């Protein structure tokens, strides 16, 4: 269960409740297989959005900016990723991409997003 109210975010997993002060949360998802709570956060000053990830105790595991040329859309599941996010091409009309939305894997160890395929 995830609860968000202004800048307070809470979740309860395996009878452990965690409270954090997060602002501008656009999306949240708990990834049970990797035991990661992830959030898409938007910066107030229109700076790039980022993905934040925490363990079940509220310890930050990663903070990753959106990939250049893409914007973060939503967190999702994918068979090739412990934590996945769908990103859209920022300017599809001027892009060389033939598709607009792509799955990205969160590489927790390297702290980066890796494109793994088109999102349909």
One DSSP character per residue, 71-101 reads EEEEEEEETTEEEEEEEEETTTTT-S-S-SE
Q: What is the DSSP letter of 120?
A: -
**16, pLDDT greater than 80:** yes
pLDDT at 98: 74
- Calculate mean pLDDT across residues 101-120: 95
Report how many domains make up the chain.
Answer: 1
Joined together, the tokens standing for residue 102 give 């792509």
More confident residue, 22 or 31: 31
pLDDT at 25: 86
- Calculate mean pLDDT across residues 33-62: 87
What is the rounded distance in angstroms from the CA atom of residue 46 to the CA atom of residue 62? 21
pLDDT band with cut points at 50, 70 and 90 for residue 34: very high
What range defines the domain where residue 82 resides?
A: 2-118
The segment with the largest mean pLDDT, out of 12-21, 83-92, 110-119, is 110-119
Residue partners of 99: CB distance under 8 A and separation at least 6: 89, 118
Asked if 104 and 111 touch (Cβ cutoff 8 Å), the reply is no
- Calculate mean pLDDT across residues 58-79: 94
């Amino acid at each position: 269960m995830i609860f968000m109210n202004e800048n307070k975010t809470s979740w309860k997993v395996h009878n452990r409740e965690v409270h954090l002060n997060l602002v501008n949360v656009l999306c949240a998802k708990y990834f049970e297989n990797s035991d990661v709570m992830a959030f898409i956060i938007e910066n107030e000053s229109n700076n790039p959005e980022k993905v934040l990830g925490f363990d079940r105790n509220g310890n930050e595991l990663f903070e990753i900016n959106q990939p250049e040329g893409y914007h973060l859309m939503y967190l999702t599941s994918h068979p090739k990723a412990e934590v996945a996010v769908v990103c859209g091409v920022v300017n599809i009309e001027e892009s060389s991409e033939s598709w607009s939305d792509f799955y990205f894997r969160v590489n927790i160890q390297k702290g980066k997003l890796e494109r793994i395929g088109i999102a349909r």
